[in-house]
Structure 1
Amino acid sequence: MIIVTGGAGFIGANIVEGFNRRGIDDILVVDHLVNGRKMHNLSDLDIRDYLDRDDFIARIQAGQDFGPVEAVFHQGACSATTEWDGQYVMRNNFEYTKTLLHWCQQRAVPLIYASSASVYGTGKHGFQETRACERPINMYAYSKFQFDQYVRPMLPKATAQIVGLRYFNVYGPREGHKGPMASTAFHFHNQIRETGKARLFSGTDGYADGEQLRDFVHVSDCVDVNLWFYDHPEKSGIFNCGTGRARPFNDVAKAVIAWNGQGEIEYIPFPDHLKNAYQSFTEANVGKLREIGYTKEFLTVEAGVKRYLDWLSENG
């Protein structure tokens, strides 16, 4: 059995799809369907069982088994960067993941979990998987950072694979339920369909209008990285999961406009509440991922946006 927490969410559901493409459906999905619309992410996929996240962790805490488990892909978390209830975030992201980690280690089960590029904060210290680069600036980022810190001394003596993947700006299918937290590609597409204009922030931090840079990575690439580690259980560590190439928001908007065959860009004032709390530049250092043996090339913004909008056109 494969266990995917957050399996009805964005990256989790795409991981389930990745296994289905391999003909694997012995999958336990763990999620929290308060937002029942997330079921659409699973309606075309095949899984063996479903558990609510609270029931799942209760069974984990009780030391219960789920039969033979090949691997756990832990994608579930409170992912709202605007959540400042630190007790809530640490319980759901840090303590929950620690409990799952120890359950996996006691049973020699590989754990591949979602870390985040948010641990790098504003990015002024770089984007390499080292302590010197890590400066989280919100509770979500801190919870991810602190779990990475918890994992690091365990790696040399681990009984089974432990992999943390620091996702950068992920976009692609099955993110519609995220609302305001969905990718800019998703929002630009809807804006162009509704108004004919993609709205981008005006310049800030020395960047021209729409020229702030992010490492935009298609979710299919993130799935490929997850499955590569599944295929290589002898590989452990904390790794960036991005393309390694920063691109301006303008390029994403242009790719969306090109696909739609219409539209233009409108620049709006940069919000005051985001000043000094915004990443104007992110770019994954993928040297460590390459060194460990992952060689597949990542999709460009142009290719990735086209693939995504083709999927949206077919699936709604």
Structure 2
Amino acid sequence: MYIVTGGAGFIGANLVQALNQRGITDILVVDHLSRADKFLNLTDLEIADYMEAEAFLRLIENKHLKGVEAVFHEGACSDTMATDGRYVMENNFTFSKVLLHWCQHHDVPFLYASSASVYGMTGIFVEERYAESPLNVYGFSKFQFDQYLRQIWTDLRAPVHGFRYFNVYGPREFHKNRMASVALHFYNQYRLDNHVRLFAGSGSYADGEQRRDFIYIDDVVSVNMHFLDHPHSGIYNVGTGQAQSFNEMAVAVINSLEHRANRPTLTLPALQKTQAIRYVNMPEALNGKYQSFTQAEISKLRGAGYDRTFLTVGQGVDRYVQWLTERTT
């Protein structure tokens, strides 16, 4: 049996799909379905069982679970604007510790979601303590679990892999609302309003020129599957290693939609001139808390044997828009 926590969520459901593609259906999905429509992420997938996170926690605390091949731990409160610190720490830190120790006791590989949010505004994206300074309680919960793991690193008996995801986008993220990728927001905005909205310039960045390391979900899943097959315990950045601007993302989304409508594609200046791309002020709540630039340093990932080429924004967006249009037309 394989366990995927957060298995009805974005990355978790895509991992379930990847296991299905290997012919694996003996999968226990653990999640919170307080938002019921997340079940839609599982309707085309094959799993053996579903369990709410609280019941699952009681199960592993009583150790009534056998025959587990690996645990993909994607479940978390992922809202970077969350204000209930106790809830975030209970879900993201305490639960993770319990599951980690259960995996170690039973010699089960543990692959878990960390986050690039641990770096905050340092502008340094290497898997080292000096680069880490989270800006919110979500980032702190992920950082603190990484720190906890570092303290017991020499005592580990089963493989452990922590993945610091950068800006992931792709299928099965519809339920994330404001926390969904800008690719999905731009897609929805353009289809509804015939324009997309980006943040105006801030600091040293021109309008829409804030840059992120955008990584397509297929690449994230590929990294997970690689380390399932080739264990090499560690904490790894999972990004492309290349930052691209929000303008580039917007252009890619719009032109992918226009191409499918048999209309000509346009450059950024042309889209700005026609106001297909518009700029709005950054919300006050994000001042001092917004990462205007991220770019994963991936030499550690490469050094651990992952050598596949990552999709560019243009390539990933085209795949995503194709998937979205097939389901909305």
| TM-score, scaled to structure 2 | 0.93
**Residue 285 of structure 1: which of 297, 309, 312 is its match?**
297
Deviation at 1:169, TM superposition (A): 0.3
Aligned: 1:246 with 2:258: no
For residues 139-172 of structure 1, give each alpha carbon's deviation from its aligned partner in whole angstroms, at most 9, with x where no partner exists.
0000000000011132233110011000000000
Partner residue of 2:9?
9
What aligned pairs does 1:257-296 form with structure 2 within 5 A after superposition?
257-261=254-258, 264-296=276-308
Partner residue of 2:266?
none
Partner residue of 1:57?
57
Partner residue of 2:74?
75
In the aligned structure 2, how far is the partner of 1:15 from the partner of 1:252? Answer: 25
In the aligned structure 2, how far is the partner of 1:282 from the partner of 1:79? Answer: 18
In the aligned structure 1, how far is the partner of 2:230 from the partner of 2:205? Answer: 41
Deviation at 1:270, TM superposition (A): 2.0
AA paired with 2:120? G
What aligned pairs does 1:93-242 form with structure 2 within 5 A after superposition?
93-124=92-123, 126-233=124-231, 235-242=232-239
For residues 49-99 of structure 1, give each alpha carbon's deviation from its aligned partner in whole angstroms, at most 9, with x where no partner exists.
11010100011112222x211100000001111112221111111010000
Partner residue of 2:319?
307
Deviation at 1:282, TM superposition (A): 0.3
What is the number of equivalent residue pairs in this alignment?
Answer: 313
Unpaired stretches in structure 1, ≥5 consecutive residues: none
Q: Contact 1:155 / 1:162 at 8 angstroms: preserved in 2?
A: no
Partner residue of 2:21?
21
Deviation at 1:102, TM superposition (A): 0.5
What aligned pairs does 1:36-47 form with structure 2 within 5 A after superposition?
36-47=36-47
Q: Contact 1:155 / 1:236 at 8 angstroms: preserved in 2?
A: no
In the aligned structure 2, how far is the partner of 1:270 from the partner of 1:76? Answer: 29
For residues 239-268 of structure 1, give each alpha carbon's deviation from its aligned partner in whole angstroms, at most 9, with x where no partner exists.
000000000000000001111117720111
Question: RMSD of the alignment, in Å?
Answer: 1.0
Unpaired stretches in structure 2, ≥5 consecutive residues: 264-270
In the aligned structure 2, how far is the partner of 1:303 from the partner of 1:155? Answer: 38
AA paired with 1:307? R
Deviation at 1:173, TM superposition (A): 0.0
Secondary structure (helix, strand or coil) at the match of 2:152 reads helix
Q: Contact 1:123 / 1:281 at 8 angstroms: preserved in 2?
A: no
